[in-house]
Structure 1
């Protein structure tokens, strides 16, 4: 045991020091805050060494450790404190974002309190560990989480511990067994379940310059879930995104020199913040799925989908169109309707967008690009048919193709699939929408 009535494990969050810093200054505030946690009384920095010597074994757990870089005074105070622990009976574990790696390049390595510390990338939960956590939940609450929901939670969290716990808490509070209902719950309730890490990400995004926001928006429209980088030569904005936890370097087993969004939960948070938002429609303005698509394309911001980073050979990628249409549609829909993003039917297959009305299925949209020949349409039509049968709704298969090229072939589709070909110009400021029944041309202002 540590001194009378003291615990031998102490945990604190570096961001919680802020109130003391504002009141007493960086150094005094830091040590006042620490003393309340370590000794349960306010102790002046001058007497810290004496009090620490009186402790038996202490295990110190520090969260959000990257906050020590908030100011030079706080960094110096923190470094002095951890330097003093080197001769004490204290074991400490500090957890932070990618930013803490900067401690390895301290300007004064011989005097750094961190030069003997072990730096370990915080591991994400493996599939096996996630399965074990689900089993423990079932044993503790005498309730099995539906396999479909387990699969969705695993996919949404990427194994990221904080995101996983947010999703598990969301399930525990609502106990749905429907993947579609889960998507609705996630969209409507995610914000209220976000912890401090996610809230700080939102604040960071809202303080970014417009050019940096555009860069982040481009990242959300990259087709793959990860991309290659040179971690030793990152640009400043990517380094910042790693430092605040929006991006994460993948471990060797997931692919070296690759980064991705830390989790789908964080991706959703970022997604909502960086894409433009139009005014919503009245219910009477939403006549049918095709007219809704027309409205969405009228309101997209062309610069969000024509950036070189998110282009295929001939134009914007499927992911870019999907992201742009979702963000617009999500804001256009009246309160009785919702647009859901990537509703899964199995681990590696998900409908791009689903629109529901009063919690009932309304329609689905699946996006493709540059499908011209009958052979190129074969697999997309089969895929759309699978979605139509699984969700029991009409699926709009939307194929974007650039003007100046060949016109898509006329193909037969099942009765529960509607093929929509959308021709666009290079600037994505004009779209011509073709179905078997009609043609509509629209301009984007």
Structure 2
């Protein structure tokens, strides 16, 4: 609505001019005098005032900002920002482009967007210069949305995100850094399994050093390949140099997780078979869950109802290789919190329950002689038995390609100021040159 003010002001001046006696305008007077005789042009104050008022009205319609604005700067700290772009990394390029914005900001928040966002500020932008220059990129992935939310909680200001991926939703500004690069990396390992990724637009041959041997694999463009027939545990490394060194080595191994369980003969035999060590990494408790477990926990119900056949199971990694259909199990007491049924009997009665970091089973007496019980517990302990090192998220190895950059539209505020100046200039012209 700011544009209405100068228009109403002009309408009022035209109305005032029609109500008064005709009087020569500065520009017309100058033109008429030049027609009568030749003369040396001289400064016409009235013309200058009118031109100044017109220029101020144009500025008022543009509504420029009165000065630098506060800003939240989010910097992608994922491993792909370490990719080489000539003599510099993608993170170096992001720092160069963000530094002028940061130093001009009267107040700013700097957020390092890694797996866990970390914020610096609020503080004057110049005070955060050293924090920006000290940032390193090495995380497996970047939580850009979480970093933006953290920055907005600390400072109500436009958010500018510097990343080598596409702009995240809700960002007012975006600085895309990086260009297409050729990179090979190790993206997944498992028992006897190794997968490689290729970021190039053409197939590449990967050479992997593993157990004193060198193995080769053809990796398709922007795709993945695997090396078969590997030993159960191994350490592998890519041979040669590419755009990103952080994904060139990975390993897979097994260990004994620390388990704390009640001293019951059935549990002692079970964990001796699986192979665990004393500890509190995983807990085994007899009881009914009252919420989500804070520590990975295997719950065994203290009691159960009459056994009923298992009629339905939900696809889940915990049930890999486990044959439950047709087994008869006693329904345990229903747990409290975010637990969902993994196996159900007639009428949708839950028999096994799962939650994040938790597994809830019927009473031990009903399970200890079942052939699926050791495999089910083994599957629950599997993430804590396996050790994977050196892996990044696959999308980091494929090196994201940025989009066109854009900066936030700076908030106005100067429009009212320039409109007021224009009105004052027109008032001054009317007072100085009114006909007496």
TM-score (norm 1): 0.24
Greater RCO, 1 or 2 (C-alpha within 8 Å, sep 6+): 2
Larger helix fraction of residues: 1
TM-score (norm 2): 0.24
